[in-house]
Amino acid sequence: MTRLAAFLALLAMILLAGAASAHEIRPAYLDLRETTADTFSVAWKVPSTGDMRFALHVRLPASCATQTEPTPSMEADAYFERWTAVCAGGLKGGTIGIDGLASTMTDVLVRIEYATGDAEVKRLLPDSPSFVAAGTQTGLEVAGTYFLLGVDHILSGLDHLLFVLALMLLIRDRWMLLKTITAFTIAHSITLAGAALGYFSLPQAPVEATIALSIAFVASELVKSRPGERRLSEAYPWVVAFAFGLLHGFGFAGALKEIGLPQSDVPLSLLTFNLGVEAGQLTFVAGALVLWKPVQALAALPTERLRLFGAYAIGTAAMVWLVPRLAALVA
């Protein structure tokens, strides 16, 4: 019993800690556009919570001089600064960095558009907070950047992963699980593409609240499941996954909108971001399947009891998310 109590305490701490920080790790975004020779329009977006913003600051090459003073503004949940800089000889070969990034858990996407029509996209991380501008970039390099962003987004989005985990606990048949995960993938790919390309949209706050509700719904179905009985969610789980997958796609699209799409490579960056999301999701599914037996041995529980405890833990985490997300709707 002691081992069971320790296991459940650990599981609760992991889920509740993740619930408190879901979707809090958001990228900062630096956009540099060459309007005339050696003159760049700079837009700097930093994630914020209320009046609090990350202490991140742009460091342009020494050859750059500020032509107009930065104009600050608060828009939604981000702090913006916009200014114009003149960089003698251009940005190619110059070092661009973000001061303060090394002490955070976020990352920064940098996009440069040159007057020649060339562009480059770089992702800066706490352990690599600067880069040397190359002046151009291949489509494959842009694709790689957005693929890794997609992988990181799904693996850091605990709410999306818990929805998938709840489906895995609910569905016993592996073939049905494959069809259900495929339905979820198709659905969120549809809304991700449509919303990212501007064909349709939903306000992000109600989307996030509904995502939390979708997790709570599947967890409740798992609690109500009985041997020998097939509820609608068990008989047709792919329908449930598809319906809620459409909503989760809007969540992914919100993250992609936060990051920004390079206008010269929209189809490529959108495709590779989505492929990254799918790769991260499949990695999670494979890891969960591999770890099932060791976790069951650690908890010292029969399969059905472990499923039940998992359902309660996932449902609790979903409700912890739901309360602040509902509060955001009326704020």
At 215-251, the pLDDT tens digits run 999 888 888 877 666 677 777 888 888 998 888 888 7
Determine the residue type at 195: A
Distances in Å between the Cα of 97 and the Cα atoms of 110, 125, 126, 148, 189 are: 10, 10, 11, 20, 33
296: number of Cβ within 10 Å: 15
**DSSP calls for 92-152:** TT-EEEEETGGGSS--EEEEEE-TTS-EEEEEEBTTB-EEE--S---HHHHHHHHHHHHHH
Q: How confident is the model at residue 19 (pLDDT cuts 50, 70, 90)?
A: very low
| Residue carrying structure tokens 């973000």 | 98
**Mean pLDDT along residues 172-177:** 84
Predicted confidence (pLDDT) per residue in 79-94, tens digit: 899 999 999 999 999 9
In 3-state terms, what secondary structure has residue 149? helix
Strand duo 64-75 + 95-99: pairing:
unpaired
Sign of torsion over alpha carbons 280, 282, 285, 291:
negative
Residue 41: per-residue pLDDT: 95
Predicted confidence (pLDDT) per residue in 112-160, tens digit: 989 887 888 888 989 999 999 988 877 788 888 888 888 887 887 788 8
Name which of 321, 289, 322, 308 is nearest 221 in CA terms. 308
Determine the residue type at 88: A
Residue 254: pLDDT over 80: no
| Residue carrying structure tokens 């591999």 | 290
Residue 13: per-residue pLDDT: 53
Q: pTM score, two decimals?
A: 0.74
What does the mean pLDDT of the chain come to? 82
| Residue carrying structure tokens 């069951």 | 296
Residue 58: pLDDT over 90: yes
Q: How confident is the model at residue 24 (pLDDT cuts 50, 70, 90)?
A: very low
Sign of torsion over alpha carbons 267, 272, 278, 281:
negative
